[in-house]
Amino acid sequence: MTCGKKGPVLLQDTLLLEELRQFDSERVPERVVHAKGGGAFGSFTVTHSEIANYTKASVFSDVGKKTPVFARFSTVAGELGSADTVRDVRGFALKFYTDDGVWDLVGNSFPVGPVRDAFRFPSMVHSRKRNPKTHLPDRNAFWDFISLMPETVHQMLFIFSDRGIPDGFRFMHGFSINTFKLVNAENNAVYCRFHFITNQGIKNIEPDVARRIAGDDPNYAIRDLYNAIESGEYPSWTMFIQVMTFEEARNWYHDPFDVTKVWPHKEFPLIEVGQLMLNRNPDNYFAQVEQSAFDPANVVPGIEASPDIELQGRFFSYIDTQRHRLGSNFFKLPINRPLSKPVTPTERDGESVHDDNMDGSPNYFPNSYSNAKTDKNFNEHSFRVTSIPDVDRYDSTNEDN
């Protein structure tokens, strides 16, 4: 709306103003790590019953049980505009829409992490990002941090092996990295690590070819995943677990909760669980991939946290960064919601409410007006601390590397 055909725009042109306002606010902050990635929907099907001996999680209750899944794959250090074929760890994050709520398993393409203490994680990430002065990638910072942190060597050996440049997302494994606790129907518990072995086989890219693809098609991995699913070549992975008893954990020769170390398959063999298959592409990338928010603290009855220090740091960091990116009600976005609506009297209001906000029901619990009750099935497994160690800041830099 202008004053004459070539005249100035009127402030009352609200249609123009709204168009510009919407355009100005289209972007949300990118993830500080795992910024660039692709995603797909599919399902997980239980094929073996042995896991039911270790966990009461409904997702594993019966052979043949099928659970909807959303998967997001990513590079770690790169930004949104970076290339998919750089030498890096790949993110392997799964969101299971189980009968008991959302279970997020937030893993990587290697079985080990870079640092065992969450306190060092921000510095590790900063060393792989841009120099604060030049705003250029700084290999000196990367190697400086690595040289001072011997615990990083195990992951570095994976990164600088052939598996450091996988041929897209379909031809790589996935690992929980962290240790979790499984609790069965008799309230007996064991420790566990999850593995997803690609059924397509491992396939990697030669460094020279990867550099060429980075220039010709920087979205190579995202394109490959999308095209494979569109053409009916559905990628799949076989899920396994490793199990360690509490007694074995006490007597194991190194810290079994250290993410920089693996559990040897000879002592802790892989137990087959089921099949993960991806067979549907997102309808909208922003709504379903960019707004997907993973949190390792999203567990369901039968799956719990272990004393893993790095995992416990992730519990805070992931939900905190999602609130920064997507607002305080990110968990109510369609991609992040459970299949059935939970009764959460105290989780309401705040920025961008995406549902009915619990209508007019009481915003406190317990109350005398609703039928909401605490489900004891969601209570955590109890455990005893037999001796109370000194509270201190312990330096694990040179511990059992």
Report which residue type is found at 354.
Answer: H
Q: How confident is the model at residue 256 (pLDDT cuts 50, 70, 90)?
A: very high
The DSSP output letter for 280 is E
Residue 185 pLDDT more than 70? yes
Task: List Cα–Cα distances, 343 to 36, 226, 348, 361, in angstroms.
Answer: 34, 36, 11, 10
Q: What is the mean pLDDT of residues 259-283?
A: 98
DSSP lists the bridge partners of residue 175 as: 108, 195
Q: What is the mean pLDDT of residues 202-222?
A: 98
- What confidence score (pLDDT) does residue 340 get? 80
Q: Which two three-digit tokens encode residue 330?
A: 């990110």
Query: Whole-angstrom Cα distance, residue 236 to residue 243?
Result: 23
Task: Look at residues 76, 42, 373 and name the one whose alpha carbon lies nearest to residue 199.
Answer: 42
- What confidence score (pLDDT) does residue 384 get? 65
Q: What is the mean pLDDT of residues 324-330?
A: 91
284 as an active site residue: the answer is no
Higher per-residue confidence, 381 vs 150: 150
Residue 73 pLDDT more than 70? yes
**Number of residues that this document lists for the chain:** 401
Query: Whole-angstrom Cα distance, residue 9 to residue 7?
Result: 7
- What confidence score (pLDDT) does residue 399 get? 75
Task: Look at residues 273, 307, 340 and name the one whose alpha carbon lies nearest to residue 94.
Answer: 273
Q: What is the mean pLDDT of residues 330-359?
A: 77
Query: Whole-angstrom Cα distance, residue 40 to residue 281?
Result: 5
Domains of the chain: residue spans and CATH: 28-339+371-378 (2.40.180.10)
Residue 109 pLDDT more than 70? yes
Average pLDDT, the chain: 92
- What confidence score (pLDDT) does residue 349 get? 67
pTM over 0.75: yes
Higher per-residue confidence, 366 vs 45: 45
- What confidence score (pLDDT) does residue 1 get? 85
Residue 360 pLDDT more than 70? no
Query: Whole-angstrom Cα distance, residue 338 to residue 348?
Result: 16
Q: Which two three-digit tokens encode residue 321?
A: 């960064």
Q: Which residue has the tokens 């979205």?
A: 219
Q: Catalytic residue among 34, 154, 173, 195, which?
A: 34
Q: Catalytic residue among 48, 108, 199, 265, which?
A: 108
Query: Whole-angstrom Cα distance, residue 32 to residue 185?
Result: 39
- What confidence score (pLDDT) does residue 394 get? 76
Q: How confident is the model at residue 376 (pLDDT cuts 50, 70, 90)?
A: confident
Lowest mean pLDDT among 70-84, 202-216, 317-331, 358-372: 358-372
Q: Which residue has the tokens 């960019």?
A: 290
Query: Whole-angstrom Cα distance, residue 278 to residue 70?
Result: 8
- What confidence score (pLDDT) does residue 386 get? 61
34 as an active site residue: the answer is yes
3-state secondary structure of 310: helix
